[in-house]
Structure 1
Amino acid sequence: MTTRPRLRTALGLFLLAPLAAVPALAQDSTLRVGLGANITSLDPHFHVIGSNSALARNMFDGLVNQDDRQQLVAGLASAWRAVDDTTWEFALRPDARFHNGAPVEAEDVAASLRRVPNVRNSPSSFLPFVRAIAAVEVVDARTLRIRTREPFPLLPNSLSRIAILPRTLEQAETADFNSGKAMIGTGPYRFAAYTPGDRVEMEAAQPGQSGATWAKVSFRFLPNNPGRVAALLANDVDVIENVPTTDVERLRKDSRVQLASIASNRVMYLHLDHEREQSPFVRGRDGAAIPNALRDARVRQALSLAIDRRALVARVMDGEGTAAGQLVPEGYFGHVPGLAAPAADLNAARRLLGEAGLPNGFQLTLHAPNDRYPNDEKVAQVLAQMWTRAGIPTKVEAQPGNIYFTRASNREYSLIMGGAAAETGEASSVLRPLLASFNAERGDGSGNRGRYSNPEFDRLLGEALRTVDDAKREALLRQATELAIRENGVIPVLFFANSWATRPGFTYRPRTDGWTLAINATR
């Protein structure tokens, strides 16, 4: 994979990123986009999930944004600096306006940061991105200082994930966003309409301030792979994301289509029930209840060794991906050199089961989404076959994402499939939500649906998040990764490739985070 520049933090120096020139707006132009996954809400603070975040980014900005390679660039802040180890100062753009015409001021930022921990019923909270903040000081309308409880060099990276709203929306409920009432942002496009399960319509924001290149944009939810491709070939949409891997070669030869792809930051992984003494979908070979076998490290290792990751990538993903042995790909800050995906070894898997007192194996059910990730249900079915061959008869129950993720967050399952992306461009953004000991108050383990918990992992991660020196912080992240992977806190399976297809005359500039943004599409 392509090596990316490291993310650096220089204390006492302004970090400046020039604003992109505003492209000309074609007033009569409409862009029609076919998305590969539905959303759970329009509320940009409700759910840390890629489909929500990508759609929201078309309508909302952060203080800091990320470019196509997840490097930090100016958002609503034109400059930022670390005043000292625990104080950051942000200077707001004087031209920044909300879609209702109101200027963006420091108090709006402060109110947005206060809102994040108070969003109710979040399946996966944005709290980890703001947890380090101890106080926000409004210096003047264009300047604010953010104080952290301890040194936190990744504050600008974390704030790139937080949408800024008008202060009047601090108490807004998620339902207010879904109705459109609270959809006031600063992004290139303003909200126009939302039909749940069908589409979101947007319009260009005020000319001269938004960077919008299309007068109107229609984002349609087309999770069915054949249907999404058919919509493109029938000219019903201009761009589709998540090109089905089975169609890549065929579409590459089709003159009606242009493809764009890039290595992804998203990993498909498995969460296992580490906590409960009895787990609802772990059963003996005769179907009787047994103690939770997933709590045994030998069983978890057996499950991992039974997976032929390279065969999955080659045969199920049609080569569009990479076998994963950790949670961030090569080139990302915190990646562990040499920590490769383990080779499949059925004999070793069976031996470990015997050592765990389960020579005849046990029954298991894998729960997975069927409309969230490329080939998600197919991958689940092949995983079940691999485990069955190792002596663990496995059933698959696949569900639409809007049902699946809610039930998975409620911990109704024993073994689940998920996907996670290095959303801040470095390893802590996946280590903390997936593997830190669950603590709702602190926001740790917000996506830790298996309740893995190891005090030494927590110590290493916590120290990394406080360490300003890049080399020392990366060493700590690597140690934490090696510990969690050795224990199979989660089981990484594969890294995706991000791909888009467009009609003739349209092009799409790909992003490592897989987000589909209207500003990346041109004609």
Structure 2
Amino acid sequence: MTRRLLALLVVIMVGAGPMSLADGEGEARLTIAQGTDITSLDPAFSKIRNDDNVYLELFDTLVHRNDQMQYVPVLAESWKALSPTTWQFKLRRGILFHNNEPFDAEAVKYSIERIYDPALNAPGFLKGFVTFDRAEVVDPSTVNILTKTPASLMLDWLAFVYIMAPKHYKSLTPQQAALQPVGTGPYVFKEWVRDDHLTMTANARYWGPKPQVQTIVFRPIPETGTRVAELLSGGADILQNVPPDQVDRVNRSGIATVKTVEGGRDIFIGMRNDRPPFKDRRVRQAMNYAIDVDVILKNVVGAGRRMATLANAHVNPAIRAYPYDPEKAKALLAEAGWKLEGGTLTKDGQPFAVTLDTPTGRYIRDKDIAEAVASYLERIGIQVKVNILAWPVYSKKIFEDVAPADLYLLGLGSSFNGQSEMQYISKSYAYNPVAYNNPDFEQTYQDLNATADTAKRTQLLHRLQQIAHDDPPIIFVYKQVDFYGVNKRVSWEPRRDELVILKGATVK
């Protein structure tokens, strides 16, 4: 099937229900170049920030983080915790979905419960924030959300629960739902040609501030050089992940400028703690000492410094990043029973040989970082095969199969509360292939999840960070510095959480 025919079929299936501003000559238009395409147009299957960048224009959530990373109301007017396990949300009235269905408490209840429907078999990302029990409709503008245990991450969770039109989605198969999005957002879906482009148009009846840009196009362009070329030729207006060595070129172009923000995405090398030799704490510590991350960042990325902890809030000030100390690494490996023979570490007659999975084009210089990490490990006698994968293949291994290789490079975003970052390595996190097995960590995390007192939570977060530093389940790399290329005709500012929110963007 050709791309043109596929696009036509998608448009036909969507139908003429939603109302958008009429297309016209000279319309304001924005094109966003991302490193990968979205996973699906069904928010229940969201996996990466690129998905959310699209969903946030088509759908609304009950709450949202503003650019100061504080939670503010969206479809909810207000909220309160009635008890540690019951939260009540008051909803805005008079809002319509794109297909004219009314937004109300039933829509909230449906959208949440749909995520947990066994027949849908949605992935586990949204299921790991809270232990959801049920949603209760109090009246059309009031809904209670009940959890089985205290829900300290309630707002973090709801910021990514997109509210969907119940009648519309009940009439669709899961395959149809993946192509026919209907929400209450500022933009209406027009067409999606996978791996080519996704187009949306402004919603003339949007309940909030009206969007200033008529048409938004998302284009997946995996190769960084091609993305930069598109920005400088006018084929893209906002570009994610400008390579650091291209920053001066973009700034000198007269067409675009680079905007930089220190983000909250943690780039790390996961170690499969359920596989030998990574069951041994000393080996995992050695892996951290063996790599000169700061040199890699200087030579490969051009920005950033080694991170000491995953946390982006309530950071433990006593923790220092692992220094580069290859002799310490060798001593720990020897203590763990590994012998260096002919330049290769061996134990019980077996070489220390591992595979390192890495995506390409998803994060800034991702495969280059992975290859540099592998070269440092090889210096101390570890045989490393770097397995470079296109994002769709890599994403399936991580987020569906949850079965990457012995080592894997991954970057996970932040909710800027400290706890969500610690959850990455907890058994409660659905996408956690490290299989970290530290009872002290798990008990402390459970205590954190059950605690509302701010001072106590900070103490527990500091404890979690110390445990994960001393018994590291991952190789700590860095917190990604984000470089955005922006056409000079566009007024738009980047955020720390990597969300490209366009409802306030303007074009000269």
- TM class by smaller structure: 0.7 to 0.9
Contact 2:30 2:216 in 1 (8 A): yes
Separation (CA, whole Å) in 2 of partners of 1:511 and 1:207: 27
Residue identity in the other structure for 1:326:
T
Q: For each residue in 1:442-489, what CA deviation from the matched residue of structure 2 results, as whole angstroms up to 9, or x when unmatched?
A: xx2211112112222121111111211111112112212221232112
Note the C-alpha offset of 1:66.
1.3
SS in 1 for 2:246: helix
Note the C-alpha offset of 1:499.
2.2
Report 1:32-47 matches (<5 A).
32-47=31-46
Note the C-alpha offset of 1:267.
0.7
Contact 1:309 1:341 in 2 (8 A): no
Separation (CA, whole Å) in 2 of partners of 1:245 and 1:123: 34
Q: 2:93: which partner in 1? A: 94
Residue identity in the other structure for 1:351:
A
SS in 2 for 1:88: strand
Deviates more, 1:509-518 or 1:35-44: 35-44
SS in 2 for 1:463: helix
Report 1:62-211 matches (<5 A).
62-118=61-117, 120=120, 122=122, 124-129=124-129, 131-168=130-167, 169=169, 174-180=174-180, 183-210=181-208, 211=210
Contact 2:33 2:240 in 1 (8 A): yes
**Pair 1:469-2:449 in alignment:** no
Residue identity in the other structure for 1:222:
I
Report 1:360-439 matches (<5 A).
360=340, 361=345, 362-409=352-399, 410=401, 411-422=403-414, 424-432=415-423, 434-437=424-427
Separation (CA, whole Å) in 1 of partners of 2:166 and 2:469: 42
Note the C-alpha offset of 1:172.
5.3
Alignment CA distance shift 1:507-1:500 (3 Å): farther
SS in 2 for 1:126: helix
Separation (CA, whole Å) in 2 of partners of 1:343 and 1:170: 55
Residue identity in the other structure for 2:306:
A
Contact 2:492 2:504 in 1 (8 A): yes
Residue identity in the other structure for 1:259:
V
Contact 1:64 1:159 in 2 (8 A): yes
Q: 2:309: which partner in 1? A: 326
Note the C-alpha offset of 1:26.
10
Q: 1:353: which partner in 2? A: 333
Q: 2:5: which partner in 1? A: none
**Pair 1:485-2:488 in alignment:** no
**With structure 1 as the length reference, what TM-score do the two structures score?**
0.85
SS in 2 for 1:396: strand
SS in 1 for 2:44: coil
Separation (CA, whole Å) in 2 of partners of 1:42 and 1:489: 33
Q: For each residue in 1:114-146, what CA deviation from the matched residue of structure 2 results, as whole angstroms up to 9, or x when unmatched?
A: 1112375555431113x3333322111111122
Alignment CA distance shift 1:55-1:84 (3 Å): same
Note the C-alpha offset of 1:507.
2.7
Note the C-alpha offset of 1:263.
0.9
Note the C-alpha offset of 1:310.
1.1
Q: Which runs of 4+ in 1 moved over 6 A?
A: 24-27
Note the C-alpha offset of 1:325.
1.7
Separation (CA, whole Å) in 2 of partners of 1:436 and 1:382: 28
**Pair 1:303-2:283 in alignment:** no
Alignment size in residue pairs: 470
Note the C-alpha offset of 1:111.
0.8
Q: For each residue in 1:299-349, what CA deviation from the matched residue of structure 2 results, as whole angstroms up to 9, or x when unmatched?
A: 111111111111122111111x332121123xx2x3222323211111111
Residue identity in the other structure for 2:376:
M
**Pair 1:518-2:508 in alignment:** no
Separation (CA, whole Å) in 1 of partners of 2:172 and 2:358: 32
**Alignment RMSD (CA, Å):** 2.1
Contact 1:336 1:481 in 2 (8 A): yes
SS in 1 for 2:372: helix
Q: For each residue in 1:158-197, what CA deviation from the matched residue of structure 2 results, as whole angstroms up to 9, or x when unmatched?
A: 21121111223268554223322xx011121111111111
Note the C-alpha offset of 1:61.
1.4
Alignment CA distance shift 1:487-1:55 (3 Å): same
Q: 2:258: which partner in 1? A: 259
SS in 2 for 1:294: coil
Note the C-alpha offset of 1:228.
0.4
Deviates more, 1:42-51 or 1:191-200: 42-51
Q: 1:495: which partner in 2? A: 479
SS in 1 for 2:45: coil
**With structure 2 as the length reference, what TM-score do the two structures score?**
0.88
**Pair 1:313-2:297 in alignment:** yes
Contact 1:47 1:124 in 2 (8 A): no
Alignment CA distance shift 1:76-1:34 (3 Å): same
Unaligned 5+ segments in structure 2 are 1-20, 346-351
Contact 1:78 1:92 in 2 (8 A): yes
Residue identity in the other structure for 2:202:
A
Report 1:327-346 matches (<5 A).
327-329=310-312, 332=313, 334-346=314-326
Contact 2:211 2:504 in 1 (8 A): no
Contact 1:307 1:344 in 2 (8 A): yes
Separation (CA, whole Å) in 2 of partners of 1:171 and 1:245: 47
Contact 2:42 2:178 in 1 (8 A): yes
SS in 2 for 1:482: helix
Separation (CA, whole Å) in 2 of partners of 1:167 and 1:474: 40
Q: 1:7: which partner in 2? A: none
Note the C-alpha offset of 1:269.
1.1
SS in 2 for 1:192: strand
Separation (CA, whole Å) in 2 of partners of 1:186 and 1:101: 9
SS in 1 for 2:176: helix
